[in-house]
Amino acid sequence: MSTRDLIGLVTSFGYAFGLLIVAEVIRRWQGYPQDFTRKFVHIGAGMWVFGVLALFENWTIGVIPFATFIVLNFIFYRFRLLESVDAPDSTPGTVYFALSITLLFLMFWRTNSPDDRGYVAAAGTMAMTWGDALAAIVGKRWGRHHYQIGRGRRSFEGSAAMFAASFVAMLLTLLLTPGSALSPQSVPIGFNAALIASLIAALAATIAEGVSPHGTDNLSVPLLSSFVVAGVLAVM
């Protein structure tokens, strides 16, 4: 383990616990509702994938924070230790999110290698980070036209927000990450390829979010989005 990796571990865990502390503070003392603080943690945790890409020298060490939070999030969920994240009726979505990110970075991230496709894992994570968050916000506030698949009830307005946010977040990730300091040895992606991959992946993410049982979209959306991005880029 290099000094850079050690700094990455300390910073990652410090950031994660700091995020949870801030969420608890704004819930208890500022009176923010649980659905707000849960999305606050959701977005903050998802965006940290770029911090991980920037900080670590060895990908095998860099996946440790993600993997650790599979266990920690299960403990938080099982015993309802953090009300800012887990309400009494919450699903284990936080566990699924940590699991999906861990799997994606294990599959695609290779530091200091031309085979590095960490940007694919980051793109899938962004579909869940921003797509799911804005779908919930828009659907709850402006959703008027609903549909139901199984026990899941969602709105067309929320699904539209899911598609738009996923598309923009993935497109920016694919355009800005490959060849940058976050993935220096990967080949930059052309605009047309990034555009097509993001459009198809955003559609897949929206469908997955719409049909997945409540909570499991934290697993299906990032995984499916990343696989679609990887598949489309492979044939272009």
Per-residue pLDDT of the chain (236 residues), as tens digits, is 899 999 999 999 999 999 999 998 988 877 778 778 888 999 999 999 999 999 999 999 999 999 999 999 999 888 877 776 766 667 888 999 999 999 999 999 999 899 999 999 999 999 999 999 999 899 888 988 888 887 778 899 999 999 999 999 999 999 999 999 999 999 999 999 999 999 999 999 999 998 888 779 999 999 999 999 999 999 98
Paired residues of 154 in beta bridges: 147
Residues 6+ apart with CB under 8 A from 29: none
Both tokens of 196, joined, read 């097509």
pLDDT of residue 38: 87
DSSP state string for 101-124 = HHHHHHHH--TTSTT--HHHHHHH
Q: Return the closest-CA partner of residue 44 out of 67, 68, 15, 69.
A: 15
Q: What is the pTM of this model?
A: 0.94
What's the one-letter identity of residue 29? Answer: W
* Residue 15 pLDDT: 97
CA atoms within 13 A on the CB side of 22: 13
Distance of CA 170 to the CA centre of its chain: 11
- Residue 99 CA to residue 106 CA, distance in Å, equals 11
Number of domains in the chain: 1
Range of the domain at 128: 3-235
Q: Find, among 148, 166, 61, the residue nearest to 111 by Cα.
A: 61
CA dihedral 12, 118, 113, 110 (to 10 degrees): 60
Q: Which helix (H) or strand (E) holds 148?
A: strand 146-149
User: Quick check: 233 and 197 in contact, CB under 8 A?
Assistant: yes
What's residue 92's pLDDT?
86
Q: What is the pLDDT of residue 88?
A: 66
Using a 10 angstrom Cβ sphere, with 0-12 exposed, 13-18 middle and 19 or more buried, the burial of residue 173 is buried
Return the residue matching tokens 């990034």.
Answer: 194
- Where residue 24 falls (left for φ over 0; alpha for ψ -120 to 50; beta otherwise) is alpha
